[in-house]
Each structure stands twice: as C-alpha cells, then as structure tokens.
C-alpha cells in the first residue's frame, strides 16, 4: 500500500552512472516515490533490494564507440541477489551511441528472474534532462498502489 519504493543499483567507472543514479533517486522522490537505497552493483544492500517494489539497474556503455557496445559489468549484474520476482527497470549512460547495450542488460536482468519493464539510454552530456525523463516515464507507467 502507498508509494512505490525503488532501489537503485549502479556500475560506474568515472562517476556518470553513479550521478545518474542519484539524479534518478531525487526525481523519483519528487514524484512521490520512496527510495530504499542507492548502491553499487558490486556492494548491493540486501535490505534495500528486499524492501523495494522495483529495482533499477544502471551501467555504462563499453565498446569501440560505434561498434561492439556492451553493458559493462554484466558478470556482476548477473550475480545480484534477491532480484527474482521483482519489477525491474534499466538504464545505461553513454557518450556517442549505446548500440544494443540496453537489450543485453535487460536480458541479463530478466535471466535473474526479474520482470523487466523497460529502460532508457542516457546521454552522459544530458544526464539532468535524461534522468528526469526516465523518472517521469517510470512514475507515469507504474502508478503507486492505493
Ligand atoms: C573504455 C571505454 C569504452 C567506451 N565505449 C563507449 C562506446 O562504445 N559507446 C559509447 O557511446 N560510449 C562509450 N564510452 C563512454 C562511456 O559509456 C560513458 O562515458 C559513460 O557515461 C561512463 O560511465 P561512468 O562515468 O559511470 O563510468 C566508453 C568509455 C570507456 C572508458
């Protein structure tokens, strides 16, 4: 009952994906959602995941910029605990072209047993706008339980 609660897990090398996680959390809170935790994929907070109605997983695009793009850290993402049966949404940050990164990320998160409702690729130069868009889409598509 009440507001949706989200946990946000990120994989980040130079900080963009972490910053995106924090901006997504702020935007969701402004829309009335609760945040159970914001933490690195490699140091997942069990309680934050367990208490969440939806788990948001973000990473960054690694490749040769126009070919070979992959989500970085799929191995760690594929070992996240307590995701089975959860709603999930994904995002990636990129510089030029995300390629099929989100599809690959979604496949891994689905394999954990989550119900992946979608994702968004966020341009690292437009994190403020793109995280706002992502949060707005999530809250529009998943109304809080009443
Ligand atoms: C080794 C390396 C490879 C990258 N390859 C791509 C790429 O293929 N396509 C792209 O759009 N961005 C690419 N990027 C840019 C990163 O995806 C982008 O800077 C991202 O926001 C980094 O996230 P972070 O700051 O959380 O580590 C690459 C960055 C690095 C360091």
Instruction: Kindly report the CATH number that applies to the domain delimited by 5-130.
Output: 3.40.50.360
Q: Spell 52-82 as b/e; 16+ CB within 10 A means b.
A: bbbbbbbbbbbbeeeeebbbbbbebbeebeb
Nearest-atom index, ligand 1, CA of 94: 17
* 62 CA from centroid of ligand 1 (Å): 5
Please give the span between the terminal C-alpha atoms of the chain, in angstroms, as a whole number.
6
**How, if at all, do strands 54-62 and 70-71 pair?**
antiparallel
Ligand 1 contact, 10 CB (< 6 A): no
* pLDDT by 10s per residue, the chain, length 146: 578 999 999 999 999 999 999 999 999 999 999 999 999 999 999 999 999 999 999 999 999 988 999 999 999 999 999 999 999 999 999 999 999 999 999 999 999 999 999 999 999 999 999 999 999 999 999 876 54
Q: What is the pLDDT of residue 65?
A: 87
Query: 103: which residues sit within 8 A by CB, 6+ positions away?
Result: none
């Amino acid at each position: 009952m009440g507001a949706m609660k989200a946990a946000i897990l990120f994989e980040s090398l130079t900080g963009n994906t972490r910053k995106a996680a924090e901006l997504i959390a702020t935007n969701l809170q402004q829309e009335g959602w609760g945040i159970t935790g914001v933490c690195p994929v490699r140091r997942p907070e069990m309680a934050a995941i367990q208490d969440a109605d939806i788990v948001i997983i973000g990473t960054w695009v690694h490749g040769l910029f126009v070919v070979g793009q992959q989500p970085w850290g799929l191995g760690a993402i594929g070992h996240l605990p307590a995701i089975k049966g959860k709603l999930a949404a994904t995002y990636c940050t990129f510089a030029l072209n995300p390629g099929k990164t989100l599809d690959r990320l979604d496949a891994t998160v689905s394999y954990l047993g989550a119900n992946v409702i979608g994702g968004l690729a966020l341009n690292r130069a437009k994190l403020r706008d793109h995280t706002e868009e992502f949060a707005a889409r999530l809250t529009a598509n998943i109304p809080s339980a009443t």
